[in-house]
Amino acid sequence: MEISNHLMFAGMDAVELAKKYGTPLYVYDVNKIRENARSFIDAFQKWGVPFQVAYASKAFSSIAMLQVARQEGLSLDVVSEGELYTAMKADFPAERIHLHGNNKSYDELNMAFEYQIGCIVVDNFYEIDMISHLTRKHGQKVKVLLRITPGIEAHTHDYILTGQEDSKFGFDLLSGQAEQALRQLIDENDIDVIGVHSHIGSQIFETAGFVKAVQKIFEELEKWRDRYHFTASVVNLGGGFGIKYTEEDDPKPLDQYVGALVSEVKHQAGKRNLPLPEIWIEPGRSIVGDAAISLYTIGSTKNIPGLRKYVSVDGGMNDNLRPALYQAKYHAVVANRMNEPKTETVSIAGKCCESGDMLIWDLDVPTVQSGDILAVFSTGAYGYSMANHYNRFPKSAVVFIEDGKDHLVVQRETYKDLVKNDLPYQIPQTSCN
């Protein structure tokens, strides 16, 4: 039997997919998304505690993705009107949607009231006033979580740290602002503070930071019970569970993160004689990150003898900004040369007019030719969702694979799409003409 020289992904030939849909292309393995979601849900169910797993849709939001999230029984974290709008278009149950954001606009909050979403995660004082006004305008009560920054420095890239005091997100504990916000919120008749929220950062491997955050939260909850008779029926511990991009990454199985959180919540609640709250989490990356690959076509190569060989692909920081923005590392293979020996070390360059547009430095590959297909692994989170129009490259298409069938779920943008909001300029007639 002939052994295929092609990469198989989710049971499909990646090279054929590239041919069928063109490149750059995002391809998701839907079974992997489901498997990741189920790992979280099963872990909570094993512990027998009340929970919600909210998919952080910023990692990858599209109607098809949210349909899958809905089907898997996930809740949803949205941070903008656009993400909320997408959720409504996907018929996502409003009561399972949570709205985030450090600068929610009046319109965004109003939309949350109109759709009657599950809860708003309150981030700052400015927002409290708007929410209060909206409860009166709509004659509606609203459930909120109070976002606190617990003062935890998790070990990750600075740009994706969020739990330290010096952060734009949430109310910090140290200066007493969180407590002040709580007082203000519980004085409002139509605002129901159902609990607290904390998110310490993203792409975190160790459980210690999460455990520390739980401790800090419960220290505070104990004080708040004693001072204000406040009880949190929900403690939302955010997302941030790391995934494997390259051999250097060593994440834990997803159920271990759940285990660490649940056991610490139980321990803290028991020790302080507080009722066990519902535990909510908001994973994004760990649900979709390792469920997708990006396919590119190799074009030009440039060999600088003794220095480096650049191999350029037909995408780059326009479809995956992470390497340029965070020096994020990825692994890739030449999808049409899977059985060929690796003969050279090359660096994969993007197509954007920017020296920093390098997707991978120093990748071992077989001898490549233009027209070959490069497959980059684990691009499912913050890839398509952070894609941009730099150099006016249209955004890629997205394909879902399930049970041996491919489904186009986001069409490739056209040049027409790129200019559809541009209007011609009526050049003013000056006295010189």
Asked if 61 touches ligand LLP (CB under 6 A), the answer is no
Point out which span in 14-22, 102-110, 278-286, 302-310 binds ligand LLP (CB under 6 A).
278-286
The pair of three-digit structure tokens given for residue 307, joined into one six-digit string = 């220095």
Q: At what angle do helices 30-47 and 63-71 cross, to 10 degrees?
A: 30
Asked if 320 touches ligand LLP (CB under 6 A), the answer is no
Which amino acid is it at 91?
D
Asked if 338 touches ligand LLP (CB under 6 A), the answer is no
Q: Which of 151, 163, 209, 239 binds ligand LLP (CB under 6 A)?
A: 239
Q: What angle do CA 252, 256, 259 make, to 5 degrees?
A: 160
Asked if 59 touches ligand LLP (CB under 6 A), the answer is yes
- Cα dist from 11 to 16, 47, 392, 396, 404, whole Å: 12, 34, 33, 22, 6
Asked if 127 touches ligand LLP (CB under 6 A), the answer is no
Indicate if 432 belongs to the active site: no
Asked if 283 touches ligand LLP (CB under 6 A), the answer is yes
Chain length of the chain: 433
Q: Does 225 show up as a binding residue in the annotation?
A: no
Asked if 202 touches ligand LLP (CB under 6 A), the answer is yes
Q: Which of 24, 101, 150, 240 binds ligand LLP (CB under 6 A)?
A: 240
The CB-of-243 to ligand LLP minimum distance in angstroms stands at 9
Nearest CA to 264 out of 344, 144, 150 is that of: 150
Asked if 323 touches ligand LLP (CB under 6 A), the answer is no
Contacts of 55 (CB under 8 A, 6+ apart): 37, 66, 69, 74, 75, 76, 77, 282, 283, 284, 287
Asked if 123 touches ligand LLP (CB under 6 A), the answer is no
- Binders of ligand LLP among residues 203 to 222 (CB under 6 A) are 203
Distance CA 241, CA 234 (A): 20
- Cα dist from 121 to 109, 143, 241, 273, whole Å: 11, 9, 20, 26
The CB-of-414 to ligand LLP minimum distance in angstroms stands at 27
Q: Which of 77, 319, 357, 372 binds ligand LLP (CB under 6 A)?
A: 77
**Interface contacts to ligand LLP, rule CB under 6 A:** 56, 59, 77, 100, 160, 162, 199, 202-203, 238-241, 282-286, 322, 326, 381-382
Residues known to be catalytic: 353
